[in-house]
Chain A
Amino acid sequence: MNFKKQFKEGLLTKNPVTVQLLGMCSTLAITTSLFNGLGMGAAVTIILICSNVLISALRKVIPSQIRIAAYITIIAGFVTVVDLFLQAFIPDLAESLGVFIPLIVVNCIVLGRAEAFASKNGVLASAVDGLCQGIGYTVALTIVCVIRELLGSGTFGGGLLNGGEGIRLIPAEYPAMQMVMPVGGFLVLGFVIAGSQWLMQHLEKKNKKKEAAK
């Protein structure tokens, strides 16, 4: 088990959003304020860890023909728990994420990690994998959130800082409303993914140069 490698994979080289391109729906839909992004990221991370652990523990019991159905049932159970928890304790977040909390059930990240990792690896490694992938998802989500919120509402930390209003960085009359609307989601995510591809290509070139120098 290699925690550092798993962490790097989750954060950059195999980031669920920018590289594996999973879980697009939630990434595009709810990334309009920092509060939403962090909340959604935390919810998905918790569900990922729990479902990874349980699926990994049961991996020898579940027959492979019905594994997908079994995984989805397990995931749906945890999603329901998180959904009810948020409704009871953080109603603001539950309201602003809306139907996208129950939709975590069909978020390909969770099912994808269950199929690709938890069904083949031990409990502890699966828990670490869930945590790393969850952090990668949260970071990507937060970046998209910060950009969209800044351009679309002109604020930073909406829903969290400054009594929920966020810190105003651009005067109220200037921000482009479109950026918090669907258009902005597609555009900003496109640029963020392009940025991460550029970063990886850049690192690769650097590595090659290093090797060539050797």
Chain B
Amino acid sequence: MEAILGIIIAALLSQNFILVKFYGICPFMGVSKKIDTALGMGMAVTFVMALASAACWVVNEFLLVPLNLGYMQTVAFILVIASIVQVVEMFLKKAVPALYKALGVFLPLITTNCAVLGVVLVNVQEGYNFLISVINGAAGGLGFTLAIVLFASIRARVDKANPPECFQGFPIALITAGLLALAFMGFSGLSIF
């Protein structure tokens, strides 16, 4: 139980996927212009990360390890992730068309979000069991959501500011993210257990 809590705290704050570990910077920068879309993206990523952690654990444990195919990890995992994203996309299209429309083009892009492949690879490297893998995936996704929503909220203000010409757009957004990362550095000493 304590270990689980520790993993959740780490994934959310002290080892935040975006601001400390640098996974998933592309959507963090690309989909953070509006708070609504940022939240939707965060939720979709969280769901896919939890599902991918579960599926890849099963694939690794029952397919790759018994067959001594450890070197095929990257290829196998990315295919699993791509199919999960595809299935989620088809399911949402049929079952929850409203959410599907809101997420739009961001859904297929989750495949190339390195947070998903990153968390799966870390799970295997650390030798987490099934439960811990899924929790790590879900908590990592929540950490991603937290960071992207915070950043989108700040960015709404930054966009109205008037920086020097060469800083407009992306550079000032990166510097904002840097300050946010500085704030999250304050969590780095945080470990309960």
**Contact surface of A with B, Cβ cutoff 8 Å:** 21-22, 24-25, 28-29, 68-69, 72-73, 76-77, 79-80, 83-84, 99, 102-103, 105-108, 111, 178, 181-187, 189-191, 193-195, 197-198, 201
Is B64 part of the contact surface with A, judged by Cβ < 8 Å?
no
B114 touches which of A25, A83, A178 (Cβ 8 Å):
A25
Asked if residues B82 and A72 are in contact (CB atoms below 8 Å), the reply is yes
| B150 interface residue (CB < 8 Å to A) | no
Q: How far is the CB of A152 from chain B (nearest CB, A)?
A: 13
In the bound complex, do residue B72 and residue A80 qualify as a contact, i.e. CB atoms below 8 Å apart?
Answer: yes
Q: Nearest 3 CB-CB pairs, A to B?
A: A186-B178, A190-B174, A29-B22
Q: Are B22 and A198 in contact (CB under 8 A)?
A: no
A197 partner residues in chain B, CB cutoff 8 A = 165-168, 171
The answer for the CA separation of A32 and B71 in the assembled complex, in Å, is 28
A77 touches which of B75, B182, B184 (Cβ 8 Å): B75
B178 CB, nearest partner CB in chain A, Å: 3
A103-B114, A187-B178, A197-B165 provided; 19 other pairs, C-beta below 8 A? A24-B29, A25-B24, A29-B22, A68-B82, A72-B79, A72-B111, A84-B71, A99-B121, A99-B122, A103-B118, A108-B26, A184-B178, A185-B181, A187-B175, A190-B178, A193-B174, A194-B166, A197-B168, A197-B171
Contact (Cβ within 8 A) B174 A99: no
CB of B177 closer than 8 Å to a CB of A: yes
Does B57 touch A at the CB level, under 8 Å?
Answer: no
- B-side contacts of A191, CB under 8 Å: 171, 175
Does B152 touch A at the CB level, under 8 Å?
Answer: no
The answer to whether B73 touches A102 (Cβ under 8 A) is: yes
Asked if B132 is an interface residue, CB under 8 A from chain A, the answer is: no
Q: Give the residues in chain B near A195, CB-CB below 8 Å.
A: 166
Inter-chain contacts of A184 with B (CB < 8 A): 178
B contacts with A: majority SS: helix
- Please tell me if the beta carbons of B26 and A185 are within 8 angstroms of each other in the complex: no
Q: Does A24 lie within 8 Å of B185, measured CB to CB? A: no
Count contacts on B: residues with CB < 8 A to the other chain: 46
Cβ of B78 and Cβ of A72 under 8 Å apart? Answer: yes
Partner of A76, one of B26, B74, B168, B174: B74
Question: Contact string, B158-182, partner A, CB cutoff 8 A, digits 1/0?
Answer: 0000001111101111110111011
A202 to chain B minimum Cβ distance, whole angstroms, is 9
Report the separation of the CA atoms of residues A22 and B112 in the bound assembly, to the nearest whole angstrom. Answer: 12
Tell whether, in the assembled complex, residue B185 and residue A99 are in contact, meaning their CB atoms are under 8 Å apart: no
Q: How far is the CA of A178 from the CA of B185 in the complex (A)?
A: 9
A190 touches B172 (CB 8 A): yes
Q: Are A76 and B185 in contact (CB under 8 A)?
A: no
A183 to B177, CA, bound (A): 8
B23 at the interface (CB under 8 A from A): yes
Residue of chain B at shortest CB distance from A69 = B82
Q: Known contacts A111-B112, A187-B174; is A25 also within 8 Å of B25 by CB?
A: yes
Contact among A22, A73, A108, A194 for B167, CB-based, below 8 A: A194
**Residues on A with beta carbons closer than 8 Å to the beta carbon of B21:** 29
Contact indicator B170/A193 (Cβ below 8 Å)? yes
Interface positions, chain B 48-80, Cβ under 8 Å from A, are: 71-75, 78-79
Given contacts A183-B178, A185-B22, A187-B175, contact A21 B170 (CB under 8 A): yes
Q: Check A105–B26 contact: CB distance below 8 A.
A: no
Decide if B19 is an interface residue (CB 8 Å cutoff): yes
Complex-state Cα separation, A76 to B184, whole angstroms? 33
A80 to B175, CA, bound (A): 34
Asked if B74 contacts A102 (CB within 8 A), the reply is yes
